[in-house]
Each structure stands twice: as C-alpha cells, then as structure tokens.
Amino acid sequence: MLGEFEYALITAAAGLGDKAYGAAIREEIEAATLRKCSIGALYTTIERLEKKGLLKTWMGEATPQRGGRAKRMVLVTEAGELAAKNFYDAVMRVSLNARWAMEKGESLL
Amino acid sequence: MLGEFEYALITAAAGLGDKAYGAAIREEIEAATLRKCSIGALYTTIERLEKKGLLKTWMGEATPQRGGRAKRMVLVTEAGELAAKNFYDAVMRVSLNARWAMEKGESLL
DNA sequence: ACCCTTAGTATCACAATGTAATTCAAATCA
DNA sequence: TGATTTGAATTACATTGTGATACTAAGGGT
C-alpha cells in the first residue's frame, strides 16, 4: 500500500501533467500539504516509486535561463494512477461513519 | 503525521466506542480495509499510539465465557481525534483536482 | 576571466511506520 | 486434566518518511 507522502507525490505529478519535474512537484506538494517537503523526501520517494513502476522518469534538456539545469521529468504510469486511486478509496472506505469525515450532513452511502 | 494504518486503527476504535478492545478493533479494521490485519500490526501500533497520547488503554475484566480472557480496552483521546481529522483533511486537500477523487460531478470547491 | 547567485538534482543516514511469525495466558468444557 | 478458545505480548524485519549535506551547471555582474 502507498504511504501518505507517496500518495501526495503521485497526485501532484499527475496534476502537473507534462510539466511534472522534481522541483515543480515539490512546490505542488507544499501547496497541497501546507507543509515543507524536504529535498530528501522528494527524490528518494521518486526513486522508490519508479522502482515499483508507479512512475517513469527521464532527464530533460537544460533550459536557457539562469540556473536552468536539466530537469528530471516525471510521468505517472497506469499502475501509479491505480495505486493512488486505491489509496484514496481505502481512506474513504475507512472513513465511513467517522465523525470527522461527515460534513454537510452527508450520509455517505 | 499519522500513517494510513494508524488512521484506520483510530477510526475503528472511535467507531466502537466503549466496546473498543484489541480483537474487536482488529475485526473492524479488516472489515473497513478489506485486508488482513496482523496481530503484530495491531498491538504494536496501539502501543505506539498510546505512547504518543492519541489513545488511552487499560486492562478490563475477564468475561465469564469460554476463553473470555481479560481485554485491553482502548479509548481515543482528544488528541487522537484531532490527529485523525488532520489526516483525513490532508488527504482531502491533496486530492482536490485528482481525477480519481472526482466522482458524481462534484467540483469540490 | 572570475566569482556569486540561482535552479536543480543526488545521496546518506536515521527515524517512524507497517507486518509476519511466534509465544504466552487464562478461562471453559468434555 | 488437558484440549480448545479468546485474546494479549514479543520479536524481528521490511517499508516509508525526512533532514542534512553535497553536487552540477548556467547566467550575470564586475
């Protein structure tokens, strides 16, 4: 099963589409999470997810701008999307009947 | 931050109210999760959560039925509920805009 | 030409979490 | 008494999460 950070990373990458690369993903995560995302967490996790086949990555070209170093581009694979969906569904299922999950009077059936 | 299993455990215990003890929680988790919950996962996690003040536990009386051994009763503390809520909210926030989280045409705003 | 700043990636070591396997305890029932 | 049943505890190891630190290359200013 995915961990919470892994889930956040996949979701961020998926949202960025073809603009997904390390640093951008990091910003996404911080925005969505409201917490710092350390460099170590980022690249270590990217590597692990790639090893599991949930991401595919490759080095892009360096861009012609100050500091424009080559980027590690990231693509979420089918397996990656599926894993994310499973994580999400699992949390939803567990949260049925949880007080903190019931807002707006939804009965969640 | 809580892990996913920790979240499931707190949620199960909260749902069981004053009937929350090791074995019952385990069944809850398996039902909600659709996956096996090993004994080790259970008690190790209970212990860790208690150490962090998210749960309180104590030994109950042995019940007068075959094998009715004393139970370790579990109560979710305020801090525990808060942590669970935070986990849930974090997942929700991260999942805004995620394709797999948008069902029923909700725009999620 | 040289150094500073900037955008990025890479790695290591360790902490926190997740899980299986195995053992122990106490109570009934035959 | 001893087999059966409910339930808890321990051990050891795998997986995830994270901070600290280092590295690389480009542009800009002087």
Q: Residue B37's domain is classified under what CATH number?
A: 1.10.10.10
Residue B104, in any domain of the structure:
no
Gap from A65 CA to chain B (nearest CA, Å): 31
Q: Return the percentage of chain A with pLDDT > 70, whole number.
A: 91
The per-residue pLDDT of chain B, averaged, comes to 90
On the question of pLDDT at B63 being above 80, the answer is no
Residue B105, in any domain of the structure:
no
Inter-residue contact B28 to B16 (CB < 8 Å): yes
Q: Is A68 on the interface with B (CB under 8 A)?
A: no
Residue A109, in any domain of the structure:
no
Q: pLDDT tens for residues B12-48?
A: 999 999 999 999 999 999 999 999 999 999 999 999 9
Interatomic CA distance for residues A54 and A86, integer angstroms: 13
- Report residue A106's pLDDT band, with 50, 70 and 90 as the boundaries: low
Inter-residue contact B72 to B46 (CB < 8 Å): yes
Residue A108, in any domain of the structure:
no
Burial of B46 from C-beta contacts in 10 A (0-12 / 13-18 / 19+): buried
- Report residue A108's pLDDT band, with 50, 70 and 90 as the boundaries: very low
Count of domains forming chain A: 1
- Report residue B108's pLDDT band, with 50, 70 and 90 as the boundaries: very low
Whose structure tokens read 């909210």? B89
Nucleic strand C interface residues, CB < 7 Å: A 1, 3, 21-24, 39-40, 43-44, 59, 63, 65-72; B 1-6, 36, 38-41, 44-45, 48, 62, 64-70
Domain that holds residue B71: 4-97
Residue A15, in any domain of the structure:
yes
On the question of pLDDT at A64 being above 70, the answer is no
Residue A101, in any domain of the structure:
no
